[in-house]
Amino acid sequence: MPNIPIVGSDEYIARLRSAPRPGGEKMLAFYEHRLGVIGTDPKLMLMLWDDHLVHRGDGVFETMKWVNGKLYQLDPHLNRMKCSAGAIHLAPPCPMDDIRDICIEVARAANRPHGMLRLLLGRGPGGFGIDPLECPLPALYVVAYTFSPKPEEAYATGVTAFRTSIPAKQSYMATIKSTDYLPNMLMKREAVEKGYDYPICFDHLDFLAEGAVENVCIVDAGGTIRVPAFDNCLAGTTMRRAIELIGGEVPVDFGKIRESEIYDAREFIIVGTTADAVSVVRYNDKPIHDARPGPVAKRMRELLQKDLEDTGIPVYGA
C-alpha cells in the first residue's frame, strides 16, 4: 500500500501550484461566483469535487466567441441558457443581467483581441448524492480561453463528414444544452479514429439530427435551405442567426430530412460558433454535388462575419 502523506493547507496549495496543468496555456481568465473575483493563474482554476455539475452532469453551459474585440451573440446565448436551466429546474445564483456583465468583464480580463468564453451554470456543491436539494447554492463559472479558428483552407476546399454509430440524444435531452456531452465526445472520438472532419448523427426514426457540437443543413436540388427541425437537436444560436440573415435571399424550410436527401443535395453545410458555416464536400466518402464548397455556405459565412462586426458587443470599452 502506498504511504500517502497527510499535509496541511500550505503544503497542499504549494503542491497544487507545482502540479502539471495540461492546457493551462490556453486559459486566459476565469470567474467563480462563490469567490466573486476574476483569476488568471490557470492552476487555480478549480471546481469543487462535490459540485453536482462535476459528478452528475447536473448543469448547463454556453460557448461564445469574441473576434477583433467584439463578443458575438451574447444575448441569444444567455437566453438559451435561461431556457436550458429552466428545463432542469435550475435557477442562477444572480440575475441574468449580472451574468451578462460578468461575461464581458471576464473576456476583457483575457486581454486578447480574439477568444472564446465558456459559461457554466451548475447545481453547486453539497454532496455526492443525486438529490439536488443537497446543493444549497447554484454554481456559476465563466472562463475565457484562446480561440483557434478553422484554417481558411477548410473553407476553400471543404470538409468531410460521416454517419456516426452514436445515435442522437433523446429529444428531451437533445434540446437542452446540458453538460452531459458523453455522446458528443464519443462521436468526435469516432470521427478522429476514422479520419473524418465531422461526425453526423441521426435520431431513432432515422432523421438527420446534428453534428457533435454543430448544427447541419442541406441545400436541396431546388435551391431551398433545409434545416432539421429543432425537436431532435439543439437549436443553435449560430444556425438561427444564419437563417435570419440569409432568409431574405434563399428560401428556408424546417422539417425532417432523410439520409438519402443528403446525397442528392447541392450543398451540405456545417454551422456552428467556431466554424460559422463550412461546406461538407464528401459524406460517407461520396461527393456532395460537384465535391466543391457551395455558394450558400460561402454567403452564410460572409453574413455571419459581417453581423459580428456590426452587432458584436465591444469587450474593451463596454
Read off the pLDDT band of 34 (50, 70, 90).
Answer: very high
Residue written as cell 450558400?
296
How far is 109 from 44, CA to CA, in rounded Å? Answer: 16
- The pLDDT score that the predictor gives to residue 221 is 96
CA-angle at 294, arms to 292 and 297, nearest 5°: 130
Segments of the chain assigned E as strands = 27-32, 37-39, 59-67, 70-71, 115-122, 139-145, 159-163, 198-202, 208-211, 215-219, 225-228, 252-255, 267-272, 276-283, 286-287, 313-314
Q: Find the mean pLDDT for residues 127-139.
A: 96
The answer, yes or no, to whether residue 69 has pLDDT greater than 60, is yes
Q: Find the mean pLDDT for residues 284-298.
A: 98
Class of domain 25-145: alpha beta
Read off the pLDDT band of 118 (50, 70, 90).
Answer: very high
Q: Find the mean pLDDT for residues 127-140.
A: 96
Q: Please pick, among 177, 188, 194, 306, the residue that the annotation labels catalytic.
A: 177
Q: Find the mean pLDDT for residues 231-237.
A: 96
Q: Find the mean pLDDT for residues 135-156.
A: 96
Strands 313-314 and 286-287 turn out to be unpaired
DSSP result, 235-297: --HHHHHHHHHHTTTS-EEEE---HHHHHT-SEEEEEETTTEEEEEEEETTEESTTSS--HHH
* Cβ–Cβ < 8 Å for 38, 109: yes
- The pLDDT score that the predictor gives to residue 316 is 86
Neighbouring CB atoms inside 10 A of 86's CB total 12
Q: Where does residue 219 fall: left (phi above 0), alpha (psi -120 to 50 degrees), or beta otherwise? A: beta
- The pLDDT score that the predictor gives to residue 256 is 97
Amino acid, res. 101: D
What are the φ and ψ backbone dihedral angles of 133, each rounded to 5 degrees?
-70, -15
* Cβ–Cβ < 8 Å for 297, 277: yes
C-alpha to C-alpha distances, 4 to 11, 12, 49, 121, 203, nearest whole angstrom: 14, 13, 20, 34, 48
Q: What are the residue boundaries of the structural domains of the chain, listed by start? A: 25-145, 153-309
Q: Find the mean pLDDT for residues 32-40.
A: 97
- The pLDDT score that the predictor gives to residue 254 is 97
- As given in the structure block, the three cell numbers for residue 76 are 441569444
The answer, yes or no, to whether residue 285 has pLDDT greater than 70, is yes
8-state DSSP, 58: -
Q: Find the mean pLDDT for residues 121-143.
A: 97
Mean pLDDT computed over every residue of the chain: 96
Read off the pLDDT band of 157 (50, 70, 90).
Answer: very high
Please give the model's pTM, rounded to 2 decimal places. 0.95
- The pLDDT score that the predictor gives to residue 295 is 98
- The pLDDT score that the predictor gives to residue 246 is 98
Strands 37-39 and 276-283 turn out to be unpaired
C-alpha to C-alpha distances, 249 to 155, 244, 252, 262, 276, nearest whole angstrom: 21, 10, 9, 22, 18
- The pLDDT score that the predictor gives to residue 263 is 98
Pick among 3.50.7.10, 3.40.30.10, 3.10.290.10, 3.20.10.10: CATH of 153-309? 3.20.10.10
Residues 10-21 have pLDDT tens digits of: 999 999 999 999
- The pLDDT score that the predictor gives to residue 31 is 98
Burial 208-222 (b: 16+ CB within 10 A, else e): bbbbbbbbbbbbbee
- Residues β-bridged to residue 270: 216, 278
Amino acid, res. 166: I
How far is 65 from 68, CA to CA, in rounded Å? Answer: 10
Fold agreement (25-145, 153-309): no
Residues 85-96 have pLDDT tens digits of: 999 999 999 999
- CA-based nearest residue to 76, from 202, 245, 248: 245
**Active-site residue 256, yes or no?**
no
Residues 197-228 have pLDDT tens digits of: 999 999 999 999 999 999 999 999 999 999 99
* Cβ–Cβ < 8 Å for 159, 283: no
- The pLDDT score that the predictor gives to residue 2 is 83
